[in-house]
Amino acid sequence: MNPTASDRARVSWHRNSETRYRHGPTSPDPDRIEPLGFPPPWPTRPWIYANVIASKNGILTWKRSGVDDDPVRAIAGGDVTRSGRLADLRLMRYLRACADAVSFGAQTLRDQPDLIGTLDVGGGLGDALYQFRARQGLGRVPLQVVYSESGRLDLDAPMFNAPDLVAIVITTGAGARLLRARGSHEKGLTILVAAEERIDPIGLRRSHERLFDEFGVRYLDCEGGAVMLESLHQAHILDEVFVTVTDAHVESTEHADVKRVFEFEAAGACLIGEGRTASDPGYVFRRWRFNQR
């Protein structure tokens, strides 16, 4: 039987060690995505998972040389019509839908100024994911969290001006003063001060405990960037990472400030999930877990 168009862009998880389905083992849209399970959150902080796309030689990103130098597009092979890329975008939206909050580093927001962690995606999946959240008693869109030590953020960015969207910035005392001077209060922006000048692992952990305690964040989906993921990992609160590996090879010598994905096995992570699509063997989907729960 030939797979349908939806099946061809559907990740089949032939390896799946996580069978605790907090919302039940039924997919929000069975034709497009398989259900994913998650362990319970920690007693005082969220379960934190990340979602990244990496080249086959492990590169996540680099310092952009201009507006046309897009690491994600290059790593994805430049073809947005590939079923593997569509599956990757669907997985990203599903992971957002499972979260109480989605978070980004300040540099990610600078590189993608129109970024908002919504669930919109073609083919009707977006509507199914919004209905999925409604059935679970979750808000239509997850809370948006931005990490910015300096507070140097463009408060005219859509993330800080979208109606009915709650945005939270984790920053320093100096960063908070700068944001308030630029009108963060008028924007309705929530600021969590993690430290006075520099956010260390203790401050990062305490900030996520506040997200848990004050904002009800039980599951947090971090979409990077690479520096932010490393900071969460160093603080021992990055619990797992979903990695989409493409067949693109990126020559590291052609770019500046190249960042690579974790060496998971060397870091003690366990591979708990692996999948592919029916028609694009160039994309491999893996799920690596650092912290067991």
Backbone angles phi, psi at 192, to 5 degrees: -110, 120
Residue 5: the pLDDT is 52
Token reading at 162: 């979208």
The per-residue pLDDT for range 184-193, each reduced to its tens digit, is: 999 999 999 9
Collapsing DSSP states into helix, strand and coil, what is residue 191? Answer: strand
- Convert 100-115 to b/e letters by CB count within 10 Å (16 or more is b): bbbbbbbbbbbbbeeb
Contacts (Cβ under 8 Å, ≥6 apart) of 159: 109, 115, 116, 144, 146, 165, 167
- Mean pLDDT, residues 194-198 taken together: 92
Rounded to the nearest 10 degrees, the angle between the axes of helix 83-97 and helix 125-135 is: 20
With 0-12 CB in 10 A as exposed, 13-18 as middle and 19+ as buried, what is 153? Answer: buried
If you compute the radius of gyration of the chain from its CA atoms, what whole number of angstroms results?
A: 18
The per-residue pLDDT for range 108-144, each reduced to its tens digit, is: 999 999 999 999 987 799 999 999 999 999 999 999 9
Q: Judge whether residue 6 has pLDDT over 70.
A: no
- List, in order of start, the domains of the chain with CATH numbers: 5-289 (3.40.430.10)
Tell the residue number behind the tokens 């980004």, with chain if given. 104
Contacts (Cβ under 8 Å, ≥6 apart) of 240: 49, 50, 269, 272, 287, 288, 289, 290, 291
The per-residue pLDDT for range 68-91, each reduced to its tens digit, is: 899 999 999 888 889 999 999 999
